[in-house]
Structure 1
Amino acid sequence: MRHARSILVLFMTIAATTSVAAPFTYTNARFGTVCTFPDEIFTDRQPEPDNGDGQQWLSADGASLICSGILNIDDDTPKGFVTAEKASQRPGYKITYSKTGKDWAVLSGLKDENIFYERRLFGKDRVIHTVWIEYPPALKSKYDALVGPITSSLKGP
């Protein structure tokens, strides 16, 4: 029921921001990672990587979306992931928000002057399912309205 409500919210958000709303659901063949997003915004599907771990889409206005999975070979946890990211010294990378739950983590911040939002689900299948959205600050109002519904649609098998 929660997933259906999230999809409905996504559809209503898309309808409010675009003239034609058609959510697209992507399912990664390798890991079963699933996310739903407006494919009339993220129109430019990039080539799938050789390892088949996910997919990236670009928008005409400079935003990007990645939906992927990775094997949790280090037995990472939501808290461990957030702690490591907050300690990162990567140039141009700054965490401004983080939250964790039993099997999930979210981060938001700046990466190379763009705003990013990342949600990770730590699956019982030893896979970390991820959705990453990145966009220019000038588009904050447009993409902030989409971040919640898109990231809430993330799930594993």
Structure 2
Amino acid sequence: MRRLFSIGTFFAAIAASTAIAAPFTYVNERFGTVCTFPDDVFTERQPEPDNGDGQEWLSADGASLICSGILNIDDDTPKGFLAEEKASKEPGYKVTYGKAGKDWAVVSGLKDGKIFYERRLFGKDGVIRTVWVDYPPALKSKYDPLVGAIAGTLKGP
């Protein structure tokens, strides 16, 4: 039931934020990371990195989306990730919200003048799958509904 709600919420958010939305599902071959997003918003696909860990898309209005995976070589946990992000002293980076569950964590805040939202899934297969969206604060009303919907589609194999 939760899965149907997420998909329904996703399409409702897209319909509310764009006149003609085309959902696109990306599947990363290396880690099996999957996320779905409106490809009429995130239109500029960037070159895939040499290591094949994910993909980035840009929007015409200054937003970006990254869907990727990494090996969890440090045996990081959702709570550990959240604590580390909240304690970060990185210039221009501030976490204003964070929450962690058994196998997931989310953080959001500001980075280099943009609002960001990151969701991580900690897989039993030793892979951390991530979706990251950032956008200018002036576009908050456009992207806030999309962020949760996109993050809700993040999954692994």
State the TM-score bracket (shorter-chain normalisation). Answer: over 0.9
2 CA distance for matches of 1:15 and 1:81? Answer: 33
Q: Does 1:129 align with 2:90?
A: no
Aligned pairs for 1:39-58 (under 5 A) are: 39-58=39-58
Deviation at 1:18, TM superposition (A): 1.4
Percent of residue pairs identical: 76
Deviation at 1:15, TM superposition (A): 1.3
2 CA distance for matches of 1:50 and 1:41? Answer: 25
Q: What are the superposed Cα offsets for residues 43-97 of structure 1, whole Å, 9 maximum, x if unpaired?
A: 0000000000000000000000000000000000001111111111110000000
Which residue does 1:142 correspond to in 2?
A: 142
TM-score (norm 2): 0.98
Q: Does 1:86 align with 2:86?
A: yes
Deviation at 1:33, TM superposition (A): 0.4
Residue 82 of structure 1 aligns to a residue in which SS? helix
2 CA distance for matches of 1:59 and 1:53? Answer: 21
Q: How many residues align?
A: 157
Amino acid at match of 1:111: K
Deviation at 1:3, TM superposition (A): 2.5
Deviation at 1:113, TM superposition (A): 0.7
Q: Is the 8 A contact 2:44 2:59 kept in 1?
A: yes
Q: Does 1:101 align with 2:101?
A: yes
Which residue does 2:15 correspond to in 1?
A: 15
TM superposition outliers: structure 1 runs of 4+ over 3 Å: none
TM-score (norm 1): 0.98
Q: Does 1:68 align with 2:68?
A: yes
Deviation at 1:7, TM superposition (A): 1.8
Deviation at 1:4, TM superposition (A): 3.0
- RMSD, matched Cα: 0.8
Gapped regions of structure 2 (runs ≥ 5): none
